[in-house]
Chain A
Amino acid sequence: MAPDPGDLAIIGAGPAGMSAALEAAGLGLSVTVIDEQPAPGGQVFRAVEAAAADPALTGEYAKEGAALARRFRAMPGLDYRPSTTLWHTDLETGTLSLRGPDGGATLRAQRILLATGAQERPVPIPGWTLPGVMSAGAAQILLKQAGAVPKGRTVLAGQGPLLWLLAVQLFRAGAPPALLLETSARGALGGAMRAGGLWNGRAMLAKGGLMMLEARRAGMKVVRGTRGLRAEGDGALRGVSWEGGSTECATLLLHEGVIPSTHIARAMGLDHHWDAAQLCWRPALDEWGASSHDRVAVAGDGGGIGGWQAAAQTGALAALDTAHRLGRIGAAERDRRAAGHRHLLASALALRPFLDRLYAPAPDVLAPRDDTTVVCRCEEITAGQVRQAARLGATGPNQAKAYLRAGMGPCQGRMCGTTVAALIAETRGLSMEEAGALRPRAPYKPITVGELAEL
Protein backbone atom coordinates (compact mmCIF):
# COMPACT_ATOMS: atom_id res chain seq x y z
CA MET A 1 0.00 0.00 0.00
CA ALA A 2 1.23 3.45 -0.81
CA PRO A 3 2.29 5.62 2.16
CA ASP A 4 0.69 8.97 2.99
CA PRO A 5 -1.33 10.40 0.14
CA GLY A 6 0.22 13.16 -1.91
CA ASP A 7 -1.71 16.35 -2.53
CA LEU A 8 -2.38 16.11 -6.26
CA ALA A 9 -2.07 13.43 -8.92
CA ILE A 10 -2.26 14.73 -12.47
CA ILE A 11 -3.04 12.37 -15.31
CA GLY A 12 -1.43 13.68 -18.48
CA ALA A 13 1.62 15.85 -19.20
CA GLY A 14 0.24 17.99 -21.99
CA PRO A 15 -0.30 21.76 -21.70
CA ALA A 16 -3.05 21.38 -19.06
CA GLY A 17 -1.18 18.84 -16.97
CA MET A 18 2.14 20.67 -17.13
CA SER A 19 0.58 24.04 -16.28
CA ALA A 20 -1.36 22.54 -13.40
CA ALA A 21 1.77 20.87 -12.07
CA LEU A 22 3.75 24.13 -12.24
CA GLU A 23 1.02 26.12 -10.51
CA ALA A 24 0.40 23.52 -7.81
CA ALA A 25 4.07 22.83 -7.09
CA GLY A 26 4.68 26.58 -7.02
CA LEU A 27 2.15 26.78 -4.17
CA GLY A 28 4.00 24.06 -2.28
CA LEU A 29 1.70 21.12 -3.05
CA SER A 30 3.19 17.67 -3.53
CA VAL A 31 2.44 16.74 -7.11
CA THR A 32 2.74 13.53 -9.12
CA VAL A 33 2.32 13.64 -12.90
CA ILE A 34 1.50 10.40 -14.68
CA ASP A 35 1.84 10.28 -18.45
CA GLU A 36 1.66 7.54 -21.00
CA GLN A 37 4.21 9.21 -23.26
CA PRO A 38 7.96 8.90 -22.70
CA ALA A 39 8.40 12.71 -22.67
CA PRO A 40 6.30 15.74 -21.71
CA GLY A 41 4.19 17.65 -24.24
CA GLY A 42 0.92 15.81 -24.69
CA GLN A 43 -0.29 15.36 -28.25
CA VAL A 44 0.05 18.99 -29.31
CA PHE A 45 3.63 19.32 -28.10
CA ARG A 46 4.50 15.67 -28.58
CA ALA A 47 8.26 14.97 -28.42
CA VAL A 48 8.90 18.71 -28.34
CA GLU A 49 12.26 18.37 -26.59
CA ALA A 50 13.57 16.12 -29.35
CA ALA A 51 11.91 17.78 -32.33
CA ALA A 52 11.80 21.53 -31.65
CA ALA A 53 14.78 22.06 -33.98
CA ASP A 54 12.98 20.41 -36.93
CA PRO A 55 12.45 23.19 -39.51
CA ALA A 56 9.10 21.60 -40.41
CA LEU A 57 7.81 22.22 -36.88
CA THR A 58 8.34 25.92 -36.27
CA GLY A 59 5.88 28.24 -34.58
CA GLU A 60 4.03 27.61 -31.34
CA TYR A 61 5.34 24.07 -31.12
CA ALA A 62 8.99 25.08 -31.19
CA LYS A 63 8.54 28.22 -29.07
CA GLU A 64 5.77 28.03 -26.50
CA GLY A 65 5.69 24.23 -26.47
CA ALA A 66 9.41 23.85 -25.88
CA ALA A 67 9.37 26.59 -23.24
CA LEU A 68 6.57 24.94 -21.30
CA ALA A 69 8.34 21.57 -21.35
CA ARG A 70 11.55 23.25 -20.14
CA ARG A 71 9.77 24.90 -17.21
CA PHE A 72 8.11 21.61 -16.37
CA ARG A 73 11.42 19.75 -16.37
CA ALA A 74 13.08 22.46 -14.28
CA MET A 75 10.41 22.52 -11.56
CA PRO A 76 11.95 21.10 -8.40
CA GLY A 77 10.14 18.44 -6.43
CA LEU A 78 7.78 17.23 -9.13
CA ASP A 79 7.24 13.48 -9.14
CA TYR A 80 7.00 13.01 -12.91
CA ARG A 81 6.34 9.48 -14.16
CA PRO A 82 6.57 9.14 -17.92
CA SER A 83 5.75 5.96 -19.87
CA THR A 84 3.20 5.18 -17.18
CA THR A 85 -0.40 4.10 -17.68
CA LEU A 86 -3.21 4.59 -15.19
CA TRP A 87 -5.49 1.57 -15.37
CA HIS A 88 -7.64 1.78 -12.27
CA THR A 89 -8.71 4.34 -9.68
CA ASP A 90 -10.32 3.82 -6.30
CA LEU A 91 -12.02 7.16 -5.80
CA GLU A 92 -12.96 6.39 -2.21
CA THR A 93 -9.34 6.24 -1.06
CA GLY A 94 -7.74 8.16 -3.93
CA THR A 95 -5.66 5.14 -4.90
CA LEU A 96 -4.34 4.97 -8.44
CA SER A 97 -3.15 1.72 -10.01
CA LEU A 98 -0.32 2.31 -12.44
CA ARG A 99 1.78 0.37 -14.87
CA GLY A 100 5.16 1.87 -15.57
CA PRO A 101 8.40 0.84 -17.18
CA ASP A 102 9.38 -1.06 -14.03
CA GLY A 103 6.05 -2.80 -13.55
CA GLY A 104 3.02 -2.04 -11.43
CA ALA A 105 2.71 0.55 -8.69
CA THR A 106 0.05 2.26 -6.64
CA LEU A 107 -0.17 5.84 -5.54
CA ARG A 108 -2.53 7.78 -3.30
CA ALA A 109 -3.55 11.38 -3.80
CA GLN A 110 -5.99 13.69 -2.08
CA ARG A 111 -7.10 15.15 -5.35
CA ILE A 112 -6.94 13.82 -8.90
CA LEU A 113 -6.76 16.03 -11.97
CA LEU A 114 -7.58 14.44 -15.30
CA ALA A 115 -5.65 16.24 -18.02
CA THR A 116 -6.14 13.54 -20.61
CA GLY A 117 -6.55 15.89 -23.55
CA ALA A 118 -8.28 15.30 -26.81
CA GLN A 119 -8.51 12.50 -29.29
CA GLU A 120 -9.38 12.86 -32.93
CA ARG A 121 -13.00 12.33 -33.79
CA PRO A 122 -13.29 8.95 -35.48
CA VAL A 123 -14.03 9.29 -39.20
CA PRO A 124 -15.85 6.08 -40.08
CA ILE A 125 -15.92 5.87 -43.87
CA PRO A 126 -15.99 2.70 -45.96
CA GLY A 127 -12.45 1.32 -46.13
CA TRP A 128 -11.01 3.32 -43.22
CA THR A 129 -9.55 0.16 -41.67
CA LEU A 130 -7.24 -0.43 -44.67
CA PRO A 131 -3.51 -0.17 -44.04
CA GLY A 132 -2.53 3.18 -45.55
CA VAL A 133 -5.46 5.03 -43.98
CA MET A 134 -4.60 6.90 -40.81
CA SER A 135 -5.78 9.87 -38.85
CA ALA A 136 -4.13 13.16 -39.73
CA GLY A 137 -3.00 13.46 -36.15
CA ALA A 138 -1.16 10.15 -36.48
CA ALA A 139 0.89 11.51 -39.38
CA GLN A 140 1.68 14.60 -37.37
CA ILE A 141 2.76 12.49 -34.41
CA LEU A 142 5.08 10.49 -36.69
CA LEU A 143 6.63 13.72 -37.86
CA LYS A 144 7.17 14.96 -34.30
CA GLN A 145 8.23 11.67 -32.83
CA ALA A 146 10.44 10.27 -35.58
CA GLY A 147 10.83 13.03 -38.16
CA ALA A 148 8.95 10.68 -40.51
CA VAL A 149 6.77 11.65 -43.48
CA PRO A 150 4.43 9.65 -45.71
CA LYS A 151 6.03 8.16 -48.80
CA GLY A 152 4.22 8.44 -52.12
CA ARG A 153 1.07 10.34 -53.00
CA THR A 154 -0.73 11.63 -49.92
CA VAL A 155 -4.34 12.80 -49.76
CA LEU A 156 -5.88 14.62 -46.79
CA ALA A 157 -9.63 14.37 -46.24
CA GLY A 158 -11.98 16.04 -43.78
CA GLN A 159 -11.81 19.47 -42.23
CA GLY A 160 -10.38 21.56 -39.45
CA PRO A 161 -7.32 23.68 -38.69
CA LEU A 162 -5.13 20.64 -38.01
CA LEU A 163 -5.38 19.50 -41.64
CA TRP A 164 -4.04 22.82 -42.89
CA LEU A 165 -1.30 22.86 -40.28
CA LEU A 166 -0.33 19.31 -41.21
CA ALA A 167 -0.31 20.20 -44.91
CA VAL A 168 2.14 23.02 -44.23
CA GLN A 169 4.31 20.88 -41.96
CA LEU A 170 4.50 18.05 -44.51
CA PHE A 171 5.34 20.55 -47.22
CA ARG A 172 8.16 22.00 -45.12
CA ALA A 173 9.35 18.47 -44.41
CA GLY A 174 9.62 17.77 -48.13
CA ALA A 175 6.49 15.64 -48.50
CA PRO A 176 3.67 17.97 -49.60
CA PRO A 177 0.22 16.37 -49.81
CA ALA A 178 -1.21 16.31 -53.33
CA LEU A 179 -4.83 16.95 -52.48
CA LEU A 180 -7.17 18.06 -49.70
CA LEU A 181 -10.73 16.75 -49.90
CA GLU A 182 -12.47 19.26 -47.69
CA THR A 183 -15.78 18.15 -46.21
CA SER A 184 -16.98 21.50 -44.83
CA ALA A 185 -20.55 22.17 -45.91
CA ARG A 186 -20.99 24.84 -48.55
CA GLY A 187 -22.15 28.00 -46.86
CA ALA A 188 -20.65 27.01 -43.50
CA LEU A 189 -18.51 30.12 -43.50
CA GLY A 190 -21.51 32.47 -43.57
CA GLY A 191 -23.11 30.69 -40.63
CA ALA A 192 -19.84 30.65 -38.72
CA MET A 193 -19.27 34.38 -39.17
CA ARG A 194 -22.54 35.00 -37.38
CA ALA A 195 -21.23 33.05 -34.37
CA GLY A 196 -18.96 36.04 -33.67
CA GLY A 197 -15.62 36.23 -31.92
CA LEU A 198 -13.80 37.17 -35.10
CA TRP A 199 -12.40 40.41 -33.76
CA ASN A 200 -11.19 39.02 -30.45
CA GLY A 201 -9.86 35.97 -32.20
CA ARG A 202 -8.27 37.87 -35.06
CA ALA A 203 -4.68 36.87 -34.27
CA MET A 204 -5.61 33.20 -34.41
CA LEU A 205 -7.67 33.78 -37.53
CA ALA A 206 -4.78 35.48 -39.29
CA LYS A 207 -2.47 32.60 -38.44
CA GLY A 208 -4.99 30.19 -39.97
CA GLY A 209 -5.21 32.27 -43.12
CA LEU A 210 -1.45 32.29 -43.59
CA MET A 211 -1.34 28.53 -43.19
CA MET A 212 -3.96 28.06 -45.91
CA LEU A 213 -2.08 30.37 -48.22
CA GLU A 214 1.20 28.53 -47.72
CA ALA A 215 -0.40 25.12 -48.35
CA ARG A 216 -2.03 26.37 -51.55
CA ARG A 217 1.20 27.97 -52.75
CA ALA A 218 2.95 24.64 -52.15
CA GLY A 219 0.69 23.18 -54.81
CA MET A 220 -1.89 21.34 -52.74
CA LYS A 221 -5.16 21.08 -54.68
CA VAL A 222 -8.40 21.48 -52.73
CA VAL A 223 -11.79 19.97 -53.52
CA ARG A 224 -14.51 21.64 -51.47
CA GLY A 225 -17.80 20.27 -50.22
CA THR A 226 -16.66 16.65 -50.56
CA ARG A 227 -19.31 14.01 -49.81
CA GLY A 228 -19.37 10.23 -49.82
CA LEU A 229 -15.70 9.58 -49.06
CA ARG A 230 -14.49 5.99 -49.48
CA ALA A 231 -11.05 4.50 -49.03
CA GLU A 232 -10.53 2.03 -51.86
CA GLY A 233 -8.34 -1.04 -51.91
CA ASP A 234 -8.14 -4.68 -51.01
CA GLY A 235 -5.80 -5.48 -48.16
CA ALA A 236 -4.02 -2.15 -48.68
CA LEU A 237 -5.06 1.34 -49.70
CA ARG A 238 -5.11 1.96 -53.46
CA GLY A 239 -6.97 5.26 -53.65
CA VAL A 240 -9.85 7.37 -52.45
CA SER A 241 -13.17 8.13 -54.08
CA TRP A 242 -15.95 10.60 -53.39
CA GLU A 243 -19.17 11.75 -55.05
CA GLY A 244 -17.94 12.93 -58.41
CA GLY A 245 -14.31 11.89 -58.30
CA SER A 246 -11.56 9.49 -57.38
CA THR A 247 -7.78 9.44 -57.24
CA GLU A 248 -4.97 7.07 -56.41
CA CYS A 249 -2.94 7.53 -53.26
CA ALA A 250 -0.55 5.65 -51.00
CA THR A 251 -1.65 7.39 -47.82
CA LEU A 252 -5.04 8.81 -46.87
CA LEU A 253 -5.13 10.99 -43.76
CA LEU A 254 -8.56 11.61 -42.20
CA HIS A 255 -9.57 14.34 -39.80
CA GLU A 256 -12.88 15.77 -38.58
CA GLY A 257 -11.66 17.71 -35.59
CA VAL A 258 -10.95 16.60 -32.06
CA ILE A 259 -13.17 15.60 -29.15
CA PRO A 260 -12.46 15.34 -25.42
CA SER A 261 -10.79 12.13 -24.38
CA THR A 262 -13.30 11.13 -21.70
CA HIS A 263 -12.63 7.43 -21.37
CA ILE A 264 -11.26 7.56 -17.82
CA ALA A 265 -13.71 10.26 -16.76
CA ARG A 266 -16.62 8.12 -17.91
CA ALA A 267 -15.18 4.96 -16.35
CA MET A 268 -14.94 6.90 -13.07
CA GLY A 269 -18.64 7.60 -13.37
CA LEU A 270 -18.32 11.38 -13.55
CA ASP A 271 -21.42 13.17 -14.88
CA HIS A 272 -21.20 14.00 -18.58
CA HIS A 273 -23.42 15.87 -20.95
CA TRP A 274 -23.70 16.01 -24.72
CA ASP A 275 -22.26 19.22 -26.15
CA ALA A 276 -24.51 20.03 -29.10
CA ALA A 277 -22.12 22.68 -30.47
CA GLN A 278 -18.99 20.52 -30.45
CA LEU A 279 -20.94 17.27 -30.97
CA CYS A 280 -19.19 15.33 -28.24
CA TRP A 281 -19.52 14.25 -24.63
CA ARG A 282 -17.90 16.44 -22.06
CA PRO A 283 -17.73 16.11 -18.28
CA ALA A 284 -19.91 18.44 -16.22
CA LEU A 285 -17.47 20.88 -14.61
CA ASP A 286 -17.64 24.06 -12.57
CA GLU A 287 -15.57 27.15 -13.37
CA TRP A 288 -12.53 25.57 -11.65
CA GLY A 289 -12.78 22.29 -13.49
CA ALA A 290 -14.22 20.45 -10.48
CA SER A 291 -16.27 17.43 -11.60
CA SER A 292 -19.31 15.75 -10.08
CA HIS A 293 -16.99 13.75 -7.81
CA ASP A 294 -15.44 15.80 -5.04
CA ARG A 295 -12.00 14.23 -5.43
CA VAL A 296 -11.70 14.75 -9.17
CA ALA A 297 -11.13 17.75 -11.44
CA VAL A 298 -10.70 17.89 -15.21
CA ALA A 299 -8.62 20.43 -17.15
CA GLY A 300 -7.68 21.00 -20.75
CA ASP A 301 -9.29 19.57 -23.86
CA GLY A 302 -10.51 16.56 -21.87
CA GLY A 303 -13.07 18.92 -20.33
CA GLY A 304 -14.15 20.47 -23.64
CA ILE A 305 -12.18 21.44 -26.73
CA GLY A 306 -10.47 24.81 -26.40
CA GLY A 307 -6.96 24.28 -27.75
CA TRP A 308 -3.63 24.34 -25.96
CA GLN A 309 -3.70 27.95 -24.80
CA ALA A 310 -7.03 27.41 -23.08
CA ALA A 311 -5.77 24.11 -21.67
CA ALA A 312 -2.81 25.80 -20.02
CA GLN A 313 -5.17 28.20 -18.26
CA THR A 314 -7.74 25.63 -17.13
CA GLY A 315 -4.86 23.53 -15.78
CA ALA A 316 -3.67 26.45 -13.66
CA LEU A 317 -7.21 27.20 -12.46
CA ALA A 318 -7.73 23.59 -11.37
CA ALA A 319 -4.43 23.72 -9.49
CA LEU A 320 -5.44 26.90 -7.66
CA ASP A 321 -8.74 25.35 -6.67
CA THR A 322 -6.92 22.25 -5.43
CA ALA A 323 -4.68 24.40 -3.23
CA HIS A 324 -7.78 26.09 -1.89
CA ARG A 325 -9.62 22.83 -1.21
CA LEU A 326 -6.59 21.44 0.63
CA GLY A 327 -6.50 24.53 2.82
CA ARG A 328 -3.26 26.00 1.45
CA ILE A 329 -4.74 29.24 0.17
CA GLY A 330 -7.93 31.09 1.01
CA ALA A 331 -10.74 31.75 -1.43
CA ALA A 332 -9.76 35.37 -1.86
CA GLU A 333 -6.21 34.49 -2.78
CA ARG A 334 -7.35 31.76 -5.13
CA ASP A 335 -9.64 34.21 -6.91
CA ARG A 336 -6.94 36.87 -7.05
CA ARG A 337 -4.42 34.49 -8.57
CA ALA A 338 -7.06 33.19 -10.99
CA ALA A 339 -7.85 36.57 -12.55
CA GLY A 340 -4.99 36.58 -15.02
CA HIS A 341 -5.68 33.01 -16.06
CA ARG A 342 -9.35 33.76 -16.62
CA HIS A 343 -8.46 36.68 -18.82
CA LEU A 344 -6.12 34.55 -20.96
CA LEU A 345 -8.71 31.77 -21.06
CA ALA A 346 -11.35 34.12 -22.44
CA SER A 347 -9.11 35.31 -25.25
CA ALA A 348 -7.99 31.74 -26.07
CA LEU A 349 -11.64 30.76 -26.43
CA ALA A 350 -12.76 33.81 -28.42
CA LEU A 351 -12.64 32.11 -31.80
CA ARG A 352 -14.14 28.83 -30.57
CA PRO A 353 -17.81 29.47 -31.50
CA PHE A 354 -16.69 30.44 -35.01
CA LEU A 355 -14.54 27.32 -35.38
CA ASP A 356 -17.23 25.05 -33.94
CA ARG A 357 -19.75 26.33 -36.50
CA LEU A 358 -17.36 26.38 -39.42
CA TYR A 359 -16.09 22.87 -38.86
CA ALA A 360 -19.21 21.15 -37.51
CA PRO A 361 -18.97 17.60 -38.89
CA ALA A 362 -21.63 16.44 -41.33
CA PRO A 363 -24.30 14.15 -39.82
CA ASP A 364 -22.87 11.11 -41.60
CA VAL A 365 -19.54 11.53 -39.80
CA LEU A 366 -21.40 10.77 -36.58
CA ALA A 367 -23.77 8.20 -38.07
CA PRO A 368 -22.40 6.82 -41.36
CA ARG A 369 -25.07 6.51 -44.03
CA ASP A 370 -23.50 3.52 -45.78
CA ASP A 371 -24.54 0.43 -43.81
CA THR A 372 -21.42 -1.48 -44.81
CA THR A 373 -19.13 1.02 -43.02
CA VAL A 374 -17.21 -0.57 -40.16
CA VAL A 375 -17.89 1.49 -37.05
CA CYS A 376 -16.26 -0.72 -34.41
CA ARG A 377 -12.77 -1.35 -35.74
CA CYS A 378 -11.90 -3.88 -33.03
CA GLU A 379 -14.82 -6.24 -33.54
CA GLU A 380 -15.52 -5.19 -37.15
CA ILE A 381 -19.14 -4.28 -36.57
CA THR A 382 -20.85 -2.26 -39.28
CA ALA A 383 -23.26 0.66 -39.17
CA GLY A 384 -25.93 -1.68 -40.56
CA GLN A 385 -25.47 -4.12 -37.69
CA VAL A 386 -25.81 -1.33 -35.13
CA ARG A 387 -28.97 -0.04 -36.83
CA GLN A 388 -30.34 -3.59 -36.78
CA ALA A 389 -29.57 -3.92 -33.05
CA ALA A 390 -31.30 -0.60 -32.45
CA ARG A 391 -34.39 -1.84 -34.26
CA LEU A 392 -34.32 -5.03 -32.18
CA GLY A 393 -34.33 -3.04 -28.97
CA ALA A 394 -30.87 -1.69 -28.13
CA THR A 395 -31.60 1.74 -26.69
CA GLY A 396 -28.03 2.95 -26.23
CA PRO A 397 -24.39 1.99 -26.60
CA ASN A 398 -24.36 0.12 -23.30
CA GLN A 399 -27.26 -2.08 -24.39
CA ALA A 400 -25.72 -2.52 -27.84
CA LYS A 401 -22.92 -4.46 -26.17
CA ALA A 402 -25.42 -7.21 -25.37
CA TYR A 403 -26.52 -7.46 -29.01
CA LEU A 404 -23.17 -6.98 -30.68
CA ARG A 405 -19.65 -6.85 -29.35
CA ALA A 406 -19.31 -3.18 -30.25
CA GLY A 407 -17.25 -1.52 -27.54
CA MET A 408 -15.97 -4.78 -26.10
CA GLY A 409 -12.76 -5.05 -28.10
CA PRO A 410 -9.41 -3.83 -26.83
CA CYS A 411 -10.22 -0.15 -27.43
CA GLN A 412 -13.24 -0.49 -25.12
CA GLY A 413 -15.34 1.81 -27.28
CA ARG A 414 -12.87 4.71 -27.44
CA MET A 415 -13.28 4.68 -31.22
CA CYS A 416 -16.87 3.55 -31.71
CA GLY A 417 -18.75 4.69 -28.59
CA THR A 418 -20.08 7.96 -29.96
CA THR A 419 -20.78 6.52 -33.43
CA VAL A 420 -22.78 3.65 -31.94
CA ALA A 421 -24.78 6.08 -29.81
CA ALA A 422 -25.43 8.32 -32.81
CA LEU A 423 -26.61 5.40 -34.96
CA ILE A 424 -28.97 4.23 -32.23
CA ALA A 425 -30.25 7.75 -31.59
CA GLU A 426 -30.94 8.18 -35.30
CA THR A 427 -32.65 4.80 -35.71
CA ARG A 428 -34.83 5.12 -32.62
CA GLY A 429 -35.48 8.84 -32.86
CA LEU A 430 -33.71 9.59 -29.57
CA SER A 431 -31.48 12.44 -28.52
CA MET A 432 -27.83 11.68 -27.82
CA GLU A 433 -28.53 12.32 -24.13
CA GLU A 434 -31.24 9.66 -24.24
CA ALA A 435 -29.03 7.15 -26.05
CA GLY A 436 -26.37 7.89 -23.44
CA ALA A 437 -22.61 7.68 -23.23
CA LEU A 438 -20.81 4.38 -23.17
CA ARG A 439 -19.82 3.58 -19.59
CA PRO A 440 -16.45 1.84 -19.77
CA ARG A 441 -15.08 -0.18 -16.91
CA ALA A 442 -11.65 -0.53 -15.38
CA PRO A 443 -9.07 -1.58 -16.31
CA TYR A 444 -8.89 1.48 -18.55
CA LYS A 445 -6.25 -0.36 -20.55
CA PRO A 446 -5.99 -4.11 -20.80
CA ILE A 447 -3.47 -5.49 -18.32
CA THR A 448 -2.16 -8.98 -17.86
CA VAL A 449 -2.88 -11.29 -14.99
CA GLY A 450 0.80 -11.09 -14.13
CA GLU A 451 0.58 -7.33 -13.74
CA LEU A 452 -2.41 -7.73 -11.47
CA ALA A 453 -0.48 -10.19 -9.33
CA GLU A 454 2.48 -7.82 -9.05
CA LEU A 455 0.44 -5.34 -7.04
Chain B
Amino acid sequence: MFAQRPEIRPATVEVLVAGQPVRVPEGATAAAAVLLAGLPAIRDTPVTGSPRLPYCMMGICFDCLAEIDGVANRQSCTVAVHPGMRIEPQRGARLAFREENAAHGA
Protein backbone atom coordinates (compact mmCIF):
# COMPACT_ATOMS: atom_id res chain seq x y z
CA MET B 1 0.00 0.00 0.00
CA PHE B 2 1.19 3.49 -0.77
CA ALA B 3 0.38 6.89 0.68
CA GLN B 4 0.35 10.27 -1.04
CA ARG B 5 2.17 13.40 0.07
CA PRO B 6 -0.38 15.97 -1.14
CA GLU B 7 1.58 18.89 0.31
CA ILE B 8 4.38 18.00 -2.13
CA ARG B 9 2.43 16.68 -5.10
CA PRO B 10 -1.21 17.83 -5.07
CA ALA B 11 -3.64 15.11 -6.12
CA THR B 12 -5.46 16.88 -8.92
CA VAL B 13 -6.53 14.14 -11.32
CA GLU B 14 -9.54 12.00 -10.45
CA VAL B 15 -9.63 8.49 -11.89
CA LEU B 16 -11.81 5.45 -11.20
CA VAL B 17 -9.98 2.40 -9.86
CA ALA B 18 -12.30 -0.62 -9.82
CA GLY B 19 -15.17 1.85 -9.81
CA GLN B 20 -13.92 3.87 -6.83
CA PRO B 21 -12.85 7.49 -7.35
CA VAL B 22 -9.20 8.20 -6.44
CA ARG B 23 -7.33 11.46 -6.85
CA VAL B 24 -3.69 11.27 -7.87
CA PRO B 25 -1.05 13.79 -8.98
CA GLU B 26 -0.70 14.74 -12.61
CA GLY B 27 1.97 12.62 -14.26
CA ALA B 28 1.20 9.54 -12.18
CA THR B 29 0.58 6.34 -14.09
CA ALA B 30 -2.47 4.11 -13.88
CA ALA B 31 -0.36 1.60 -11.92
CA ALA B 32 0.43 4.26 -9.32
CA ALA B 33 -3.29 4.99 -9.03
CA VAL B 34 -3.93 1.30 -8.36
CA LEU B 35 -1.35 1.25 -5.57
CA LEU B 36 -2.64 4.51 -4.09
CA ALA B 37 -6.20 3.18 -4.20
CA GLY B 38 -5.06 0.28 -2.03
CA LEU B 39 -6.39 -2.43 -4.32
CA PRO B 40 -5.29 -5.89 -3.12
CA ALA B 41 -4.53 -7.02 -6.69
CA ILE B 42 -4.57 -5.62 -10.20
CA ARG B 43 -4.62 -8.96 -11.91
CA ASP B 44 -4.92 -12.68 -11.33
CA THR B 45 -2.42 -14.97 -12.98
CA PRO B 46 -3.86 -17.17 -15.71
CA VAL B 47 -2.12 -20.30 -14.38
CA THR B 48 -3.00 -20.42 -10.67
CA GLY B 49 -5.18 -17.35 -10.24
CA SER B 50 -2.78 -15.82 -7.74
CA PRO B 51 -3.11 -12.09 -7.10
CA ARG B 52 -0.53 -9.61 -8.39
CA LEU B 53 0.27 -5.94 -8.03
CA PRO B 54 2.78 -3.91 -10.06
CA TYR B 55 6.31 -5.13 -9.33
CA CYS B 56 8.77 -3.07 -11.42
CA MET B 57 6.89 0.12 -12.39
CA MET B 58 9.13 0.40 -15.45
CA GLY B 59 7.55 -1.71 -18.15
CA ILE B 60 9.51 -4.91 -17.60
CA CYS B 61 7.46 -7.39 -15.56
CA PHE B 62 3.93 -7.01 -16.97
CA ASP B 63 2.44 -7.65 -13.54
CA CYS B 64 0.54 -4.37 -13.88
CA LEU B 65 -1.67 -5.50 -16.76
CA ALA B 66 -5.06 -3.87 -16.41
CA GLU B 67 -8.11 -2.88 -18.37
CA ILE B 68 -7.89 0.85 -18.99
CA ASP B 69 -10.81 2.77 -20.49
CA GLY B 70 -12.22 -0.50 -21.73
CA VAL B 71 -9.02 -1.77 -23.37
CA ALA B 72 -7.59 -4.95 -21.80
CA ASN B 73 -3.91 -5.89 -21.49
CA ARG B 74 -2.64 -2.37 -20.96
CA GLN B 75 0.68 -2.12 -19.18
CA SER B 76 -0.64 0.27 -16.57
CA CYS B 77 2.79 1.46 -15.36
CA THR B 78 3.39 3.02 -18.78
CA VAL B 79 0.04 4.80 -19.07
CA ALA B 80 -0.27 8.30 -17.61
CA VAL B 81 -3.57 9.11 -15.92
CA HIS B 82 -6.12 11.51 -17.38
CA PRO B 83 -9.24 12.82 -15.66
CA GLY B 84 -11.99 10.22 -15.63
CA MET B 85 -9.74 7.31 -16.62
CA ARG B 86 -11.32 3.95 -15.76
CA ILE B 87 -8.87 1.37 -14.46
CA GLU B 88 -10.14 -2.16 -13.89
CA PRO B 89 -8.37 -5.28 -12.68
CA GLN B 90 -7.73 -7.79 -15.39
CA ARG B 91 -8.44 -11.49 -15.42
CA GLY B 92 -7.47 -14.11 -17.99
CA ALA B 93 -4.49 -12.28 -19.47
CA ARG B 94 -3.14 -15.39 -21.06
CA LEU B 95 -6.07 -15.97 -23.38
CA ALA B 96 -5.88 -12.48 -24.76
CA PHE B 97 -2.17 -12.81 -25.40
CA ARG B 98 -2.55 -16.22 -27.02
CA GLU B 99 -5.04 -14.80 -29.48
CA GLU B 100 -2.78 -11.91 -30.30
CA ASN B 101 0.23 -14.14 -30.69
CA ALA B 102 -1.67 -16.43 -33.00
CA ALA B 103 -2.84 -13.44 -35.03
CA HIS B 104 0.61 -12.38 -36.08
CA GLY B 105 2.45 -15.63 -35.87
CA ALA B 106 4.79 -14.72 -33.03
Q: Considering the chains assembled together, what is the distance between the CA atoms of A70 and B76 in angstroms?
A: 27
Interface assignment of A1: CB less than 8 Å from any CB of chain B: no
Asked if A148 meets B58 with Cβ closer than 8 Å, knowing A39-B27, A142-B35, A379-B47, the reply is no
The chain A residue with its CB closest to the CB of B38 is A151
Q: Considering the chains assembled together, what is the distance between the CA atoms of A380 and B101 in angstroms?
A: 19
A452 contacts B104, C-beta separation under 8 Å: yes
B78 contacts A119, C-beta separation under 8 Å: no
Q: Considering the chains assembled together, what is the distance between the CA atoms of A131 and B55 in angstroms?
A: 8
In the complex, which residues of chain A have a beta carbon less than 8 angstroms from the beta carbon of B36? Answer: 146, 148
Q: Considering the chains assembled together, what is the distance between the CA atoms of A331 and B63 in angstroms?
A: 47
> What 1/0 mask marks residues of chain A from 118 to 154 whose CB sits below 8 Å from any chain B CB?
0110000000010111110110011001111111100
Partner of A441, one of B2, B40, B41, B106: B106
- Name the distance in Å between A227's Cβ and chain B's nearest Cβ: 23
In the complex, which residues of chain A have a beta carbon less than 8 angstroms from the beta carbon of B80? Answer: 38, 83
A409 contacts B9, C-beta separation under 8 Å: no
A411 contacts B61, C-beta separation under 8 Å: yes
In the complex, which residues of chain A have a beta carbon less than 8 angstroms from the beta carbon of B47? Answer: 379-380
Stretch among A48-56, A187-195, A298-306 lining the B interface: A48-56
CB within 8 Å of B: which A149-195 residues: 149-152, 173-175
Total interface residues in chain B, CB < 8 Å: 51
> What 1/0 mask marks residues of chain A from 63 to 87 whose CB sits below 8 Å from any chain B CB?
0000000000000000000010100
Asked if A134 meets B106 with Cβ closer than 8 Å, knowing A146-B9, A147-B8, A380-B47, the reply is no
In the complex, which residues of chain B have a beta carbon less than 8 angstroms from the beta carbon of A415? Answer: 60-61
> What 1/0 mask marks residues of chain B from 59 to 85 whose CB sits below 8 Å from any chain A CB?
111110100000001010110100000
Interface assignment of A91: CB less than 8 Å from any CB of chain B: no
Partner of B3, one of A37, A175, A441: A175
CB within 8 Å of A: which B23-40 residues: 24-29, 32, 35-36, 40
B56 contacts A445, C-beta separation under 8 Å: no
Partner of A148, one of B2, B77, B99: B2
Partner of B51, one of A236, A251, A443: A236
Interface assignment of B18: CB less than 8 Å from any CB of chain A: no
Binding site secondary structure of chain A: loop
A448 contacts B100, C-beta separation under 8 Å: yes
Asked if A134 meets B54 with Cβ closer than 8 Å, knowing A146-B32, A441-B106, the reply is yes
Interface assignment of A334: CB less than 8 Å from any CB of chain B: no
Partner of B62, one of A134, A410, A441: A410
Interface assignment of A362: CB less than 8 Å from any CB of chain B: no
B100 contacts A147, C-beta separation under 8 Å: no
In the complex, which residues of chain B have a beta carbon less than 8 angstroms from the beta carbon of A120? Answer: 56, 58, 60
CB within 8 Å of B: which A368-412 residues: 377-380, 409-411
5 A-B pairs with least C-beta separation: A147-B9, A138-B57, A146-B28, A131-B53, A410-B62
